[in-house]
Structure 1
Amino acid sequence: MAAGSGRARSVLTLRGRCLVGGGLALGLTGAVLGERSLVELAGFVLALPLLAALTVGRRRLRMTTRRSVTPSRVPRGAPAEVVLELVNSGTRRGGLWLLTEHVPPALGRPHRFSVAGLAAGAATTVRYRLLGRHRGRYQLGPLQLRIVDPFGLVERTGTGTGTAPLAVVPRVRPLGRGGPGGEHGSGGDGVPRALAVHGDDDVSVREYRRGDDMRKVHWRATARTGELMVRLEERPWRAQGTLLLDTRARAHLVAPAGRTAPDVPRPPGDDCPPTDSLEWLVEAAASIGMALVQRGAELRVVTATGELSSTPGRGGLGAEELLDRLAVVGPSRGTDLSAAVSAACRAAGDGPLICLLGAVGPDDVADLVRLRPGPATGLAVLVDITGWGDPVPSRRRGIAGAALDALAAQREEAAAVLAGAGWRVTTATAGQDVAEVWAALGAVPAGARA
């Protein structure tokens, strides 16, 4: 990147403007009083910025920059190191260079450096660190160069065109072995069986539904139960998992950009807890999704705005794809979850569906019960968003006691509806780690809630 590739311009500094103002006042005073010496002094004062401008204007902004970011993908809350290699590509020794590296506001303030007397063709290295406070994909740079005359009266600026990418992805928390399917083989109930990766033939059966292929009727189970039963699969079972991530803004308390949230309850040993309920859910999706991918599962993730895309030709998301897609997931404006529920149920088929939900009521989960009435695996985590509320009622994000009670009542009703339909349900709070919630979900019997 050549700094001179951008538009360069020379301007007076604050010191230069003050000097020009003083020179004009001195000349006007000398003219009024008839003091020739004051006028001559004013001419000398006014000549200094002019000479400085000529000096700075003769210097061409010739600098090449090579920028590297290590690592280029960091988990939220982790640092990244940026290395700037500056090369004086001109034919003369450089003067005083004042450098400003533009940084997205979500990552902090711009970084400023100074380099003096860099010989022609010589190089120097500047390093700085960034903390990935917020998820997202960012561009670091471009670099702005300022040349100042020795008296600090005139500066010339130029902006380069080169940038470097940095991705801040959600953290992946270890889940341990206590979650659904973590310690089970191919037997047992539907949840461990569906979440465990194995190669046995899946001979699970369910009740016949209108439209099912009659060739899949399991006659032995039909004779035993007295009702028409069909096979879930007749081929070797392929591990799969589908996540439904509730990203609706109305279902969360979303923290303003830059909030450090010192008052938010945090799990023990976590020095960078999620700043709001949506961040907690995204982190949970990353952790659970990575665990499923590592078990060999075919992973699909559906949000309130649609399914996260995967590489063409692949059936599901890979590990890096999952984190990259979740890095840019934000609150959505939609208020209805029905379209996302329908898409998630289609993606899951007869396989497991894990729902990560914000503030919901019984109406929000009615479609889940309606579209998955059979023995298909269903797990749900309902987040108590009030833990991320402002504890000071006078502030804008404060929640009144009546609203707290209403949210809790709706959440309990939704959990009861899901549990009554055979789902495993648990509630997550701001002070809980994803692993703790996942373990609690594994300990809940089918058709019950924690």
Structure 2
Amino acid sequence: MAAPRRALAGLTSRGRCLVGGGLALGLTGAVLGERALVQLAGFVLALPLLAALSVARRRSRVSTRRTVTPARVARGGSAEVVLELQNTDTRRAGVWLLSEQLPGALGRAHRFTVSGLAAGAATKARYQVTGRYRGRYQVGPLQLRVVDPFGLVERTTAGGDTAPLTVVPRVRPLGPGGPGGGRGRGGEGARRAIAVSGDDDVTVREYRQGDDLRKVHWRATARTGELMVRLEERPWRAQGTLLLDTRARAHLVAPEREGVPQVPGPPGDRWPPADSLEWLVEAAASVGVALAEQGADLRVVTAAGELPPAPGRRGLGADELLDRLATVGASRASDLSATVAAACRVAGNGPLICLLGAVGPDDVADLVQQRGGPVADVAVLLDITGWADAAPARARRAGPAAEALRGQREQAAAMLAGAGWRVTTAEAGQDVADVWSRLGGIRLGAPA
């Protein structure tokens, strides 16, 4: 009796209504003394029991195989899921109500019906999923509901098989402008060239405390009026370092929900970034892929730490970068001091590209102090208030502080520009390529 009891626990709405009607009919017949009504009530109540016995005896044996193509899509892209079902029982199957479970970020569960599948036969079901948010997801498992022919009782079982799907940030074409737009040679045989004005092309820089006085370049010193030292040319490999300001306090982050917020975007862009953090990650993906395709040793440092390259590699490849960025989220870090120190250490003498959220002078002071030299560093400052219009709650939060944020951003930009950085501001609705082109052309790994 345990199996029928479990089956009766799966009464559908129709089955519960039938049981309620049978009980009411039997009670009425007993009160009025109508034997026919009592007999009819017994027949009505017997139907759900017979349905429960039918469902309990029907042991569905089904094997599933799920294929997701492609297994990695850019945000806003679609993937096709092919679900293969095979009836491994020796009897014809009844009615299967199938529900493919999906994470909320991929949409609602897909439901379909398979009826009367012969023993050993197989069938396929296809559907599309759209990656609306970055992340790593599991498609499935399949939920199988077996119902009786009258729809009174159902039994639900869930499989354990899933298939992975990775939603990576979009890569926007940057065009010929911007830092890294030139196709510099990044091979091991390339050498750093720091040109000084005049006829002498010796590689020199200003004297720093602790430099060997034997390396003083007297001709350049006489020409510039400042003590200059000679740098030893050594083989190098082009490199680029990205600093991503992923602090939650520096962004207006849109929570994952059923509808993607409608924010302004470039013409023809169906999936503009829903918040400033998504814009920053998308910009990092676009710039990073461009640098990696030029042969650079790419390093990426976020507020939560560095995105590690694969063992044995000096930097991230294009695909590896996208996989790492797929799971980058908002960090609880309160300031950028640790992030700046790590990025400066990783960048060394190579270029540093900073993608910053809402910052002020205190946030960029460490960058000004710790960075200097012939290589041109780049900073993009986000105007996060542009994303507040997508949600009234965020608009109320950002409204009173918009002027204060603008003033702090302008002060930070002035500090960086005064220290020799190339600085620009990005707003909601602007394409990454447009912002990047405003920074001017700098050959990868070369000084400005």
TM-score (normalizing by structure 1): 0.89
Question: How far did 1:200 drift?
Answer: 3.5
How far apart in 2 are the matches of 1:323 and 1:75? 9
* Aligned Cα root-mean-square deviation (Å): 2.4
**Alpha-carbon contact 1:391-1:398 (below 8 Å) kept:** no
Counterpart amino acid of residue 421 in structure 1: A
**Alpha-carbon contact 2:297-2:315 (below 8 Å) kept:** yes
Q: Deviations over 1:285-309 (max 9, x none)?
A: 0000000000000000000010001
Say which SS state the counterpart of residue 181 (structure 2) adopts. Answer: coil
Partner of 1:433: 431
How far apart in 2 are the matches of 1:401 and 1:291? 36
Say which SS state the counterpart of residue 22 (structure 1) adopts. Answer: helix
Pick closer, same or farther for the CA change 1:443–1:420 going to 2, 3 Å: same
Say which SS state the counterpart of residue 66 (structure 1) adopts. Answer: strand
Partner of 2:314: 315
Partner of 1:202: 192
Partner of residue 422 from structure 2, selected from 405, 421, 424: 424
Pick closer, same or farther for the CA change 1:158–1:149 going to 2, 3 Å: same
Question: How far did 1:234 drift?
Answer: 2.6
**Alpha-carbon contact 2:7-2:55 (below 8 Å) kept:** no
Question: How far did 1:35 drift?
Answer: 1.6
Partner of 2:173: 174
**Alpha-carbon contact 2:80-2:128 (below 8 Å) kept:** yes
Q: What is the aligned-residue identity percentage? A: 72
**Alpha-carbon contact 2:7-2:154 (below 8 Å) kept:** no
Say which SS state the counterpart of residue 146 (structure 1) adopts. Answer: strand
Say which SS state the counterpart of residue 65 (structure 2) adopts. Answer: strand
Q: Does 1:406 align with 2:396?
A: no
Say which SS state the counterpart of residue 157 (structure 1) adopts. Answer: strand
Q: Deviations over 1:296-339 (max 9, x none)?
A: 00000000010001101100111111001100111111121110
**Alpha-carbon contact 2:378-2:422 (below 8 Å) kept:** yes
Q: Deviations over 1:221-276 (max 9, x none)?
A: 55655514252x632231000000010111111112134232x2211221211111
Partner of 2:40: 41
How far apart in 2 are the matches of 1:214 and 1:60? 88
Say which SS state the counterpart of residue 389 (structure 1) adopts. Answer: helix
Counterpart amino acid of residue 37 in structure 2: L
Give the number of equivalent residue pairs.
Answer: 427
Q: How does 1:267-306 map to 2 (within 5 A)?
A: 267-306=266-305
How far apart in 2 are the matches of 1:176 and 1:390? 29
Say which SS state the counterpart of residue 268 (structure 2) adopts. Answer: coil
Question: How far did 1:92 drift?
Answer: 0.6
Counterpart amino acid of residue 425 in structure 1: V
Q: Deviations over 1:122-163 (max 9, x none)?
A: 000000001111101000110000010001111111100000
How far apart in 2 are the matches of 1:98 and 1:215? 84
How far apart in 2 are the matches of 1:150 and 1:361? 68
How far apart in 2 are the matches of 1:8 and 1:19? 15
Question: How far did 1:64 drift?
Answer: 0.5
Question: How far did 1:181 drift?
Answer: 4.0
Q: Deviations over 1:2-26 (max 9, x none)?
A: xxxxx99961111111111111121
Question: How far did 1:414 drift?
Answer: 0.2
Counterpart amino acid of residue 18 in structure 2: L
Say which SS state the counterpart of residue 54 (structure 2) adopts. Answer: helix
Counterpart amino acid of residue 330 in structure 1: G
Pick closer, same or farther for the CA change 1:197–1:253 going to 2, 3 Å: farther
Counterpart amino acid of residue 234 in structure 1: E
TM-score (normalizing by structure 2): 0.90
How far apart in 1 are the matches of 2:207 and 2:372? 12
**Alpha-carbon contact 1:375-1:422 (below 8 Å) kept:** no
Partner of 2:389: 390
Partner of 1:349: 348
Say which SS state the counterpart of residue 85 (structure 1) adopts. Answer: strand
Partner of 1:192: none
